[in-house]
Copies of this chain bind each other. A is one copy, B any other.
Amino acid sequence: MTTSYGGIEGTHLRQYIEKIEQLEAEKKNIAEDVKEVYAEAKAQGFDAKIMRKVISMRKLDAADREEQETLLDIYCHALGMIPSPDGEDRSEAAA
């Protein structure tokens, strides 16, 4: 037999699964790196809990800003101005 069940499809499935597992392993490694940074900061006398708070606040701020940009986009669209993706609109067309 050549293809048969567990053949090509199985191979592809296995590849997908292994790819995912590999990616999740990378995520885990990074999470450990994060812990290390916290540990090092703590060793320098910084309070991890406060750092977490700061980071989450900055994240919220970023989300806010993004929200505002989205809102701006919506306005622009509504006005027919279409602010080209990511706000890049340096109007070089004038050249």
Q: Which residues of A contact B (CB under 8 A)?
A: 9, 12-13, 16-17, 19-21, 23-24, 26-27, 30-31, 33-34, 37-38, 40-41, 44-47, 49-51, 53-58, 60-61, 63-64, 67-68, 70-71, 74-75, 78
Contact = CB atoms under 8 A, between A and B. Distances in A.
Contacts of A37: 16, 19-20, 23
B51 A57 contact: no
12 contacts: A9-B45, A13-B46, A16-B37, A16-B40, A17-B58, A20-B51, A20-B55, A53-B70, A53-B74, A60-B60, A60-B67, A64-B64
* Chain A interface, DSSP helix/strand/loop, else mixed: helix
